[in-house]
Amino acid sequence: MSTLATSDAPLDVLAIAAHRDDVEQTCGGTLLKMAQRGRRTGILDLTQGEMGTRGTAEERAREAADAAKILRVSWRQALDIPDGRVENNFENRLKVARVIREQRPRVVILPYWEGRHPDHYTASTLGYEACFLAGLAKLDFSAVEASGLPEDLTAGRRQDSRQDAGTTRLPPHRPFKVIYATLYYDVRPTFVVDITELFETRFQALMAYKSQFSDQEAGKDLFPVQAEIRARIEAIARFYGLLGGVTYAEPFLQKEVGLVEDLTLIPVKSI
């Protein structure tokens, strides 16, 4: 996968989510926007999608790599946490913390901490606590080093060499900023990112998951047809766009307050 070969430079933005295709739905346009601005972006999927009604984990791996190319992501990897059973335990926190130390992201995007799907809201607290752990100098990774390497879609060779070096020697790292992608949950975002120019490409990234989104017999009572999916995704993007005074946007929440230097430069019209 040479087009996705990575350097050893830290990631500017790492999006973490429970399932392959979550990031494409919640913050794919934002990742693409960052990549267009020259930022290095990455995606960590916690599971490999083996519980899906449609398609196999292998198909979803290929589709995830295709989607990553469309979103111009520099790095993408899937951990081996069981699909449908994402648990916030120490072993899983260590697995995510290892990735944080390897990739050294400045910004981490997590799912919002409430939601319908337990994997989604569990991924949120698991991700946050892993970011915290990754900064502890005396963290012991031996519990996960025995369990083998996660599946790597973009940087297999580099991953092998890193393992040889021993992850325990990776220096501690904590992201500067943790933000939450709120699109799966009905909560008011604290900011939105304008993806008007990127909406079509983001939609194509989602449609790269052909096993999930092409019209087919398997699971047709569970899955809406493609035209309906597009209408829903467009309606949601338009709603958040409206909140920001643009056509299409993706919603986020930060726990911290905003810091302002110049009142005349605050975006989004009040009246």
Residues that bind Zn ion in the complex, under the rule CB under 5 A:
19, 22
Report the nearest approach of Zn ion to the CB of residue 26 (Å).
9
Q: Which residue, 19 or 76, is less far from Zn ion as judged by CB? A: 19
CB under 8 Å to 219, separation ≥6 — which residues? 53, 54
Residue of minimal CB distance from Zn ion?
Answer: 19
- Closest CA relative to residue 28, chosen from 202, 241, 254, 249: 202
Report the nearest approach of Zn ion to the CB of residue 45 (Å).
9
Length of the chain equals 271
Q: Which residue, 25 or 41, is less far from Zn ion as judged by CB? A: 25
In angstroms, the CA 44 to CA 152 distance is 10
Q: Which residue, 93 or 120, is less far from Zn ion as judged by CB? A: 120
Q: Which residue, 105 or 115, is less far from Zn ion as judged by CB? A: 115
Residue pair 83/46 in contact (Cβ under 8 Å)? The answer is no
Report the nearest approach of Zn ion to the CB of residue 203 (Å).
17
In angstroms, the CA 34 to CA 9 distance is 16
Report the nearest approach of Zn ion to the CB of residue 20 (Å).
8
Report the nearest approach of Zn ion to the CB of residue 164 (Å).
33
In angstroms, the CA 12 to CA 97 distance is 16
DSSP classification of residue 167: G
Q: Which residue, 74 or 212, is less far from Zn ion as judged by CB? A: 212
What is the β-pairing status of strands 107-111 and 13-17? Answer: parallel
Report the nearest approach of Zn ion to the CB of residue 8 (Å).
30
Q: Which residue, 154 or 212, is less far from Zn ion as judged by CB? A: 212
Distance (Å) of CA 270 to CA 55, 65, 195, 220, 246: 47, 41, 21, 44, 14
Q: Which residue, 45 or 194, is less far from Zn ion as judged by CB? A: 45
- What does the block give as tokens for 159? 């991953």
In angstroms, the CA 76 to CA 89 distance is 23
Residue that has been written with the tokens 């096993």 in this structure? 211
Report the nearest approach of Zn ion to the CB of residue 193 (Å).
20
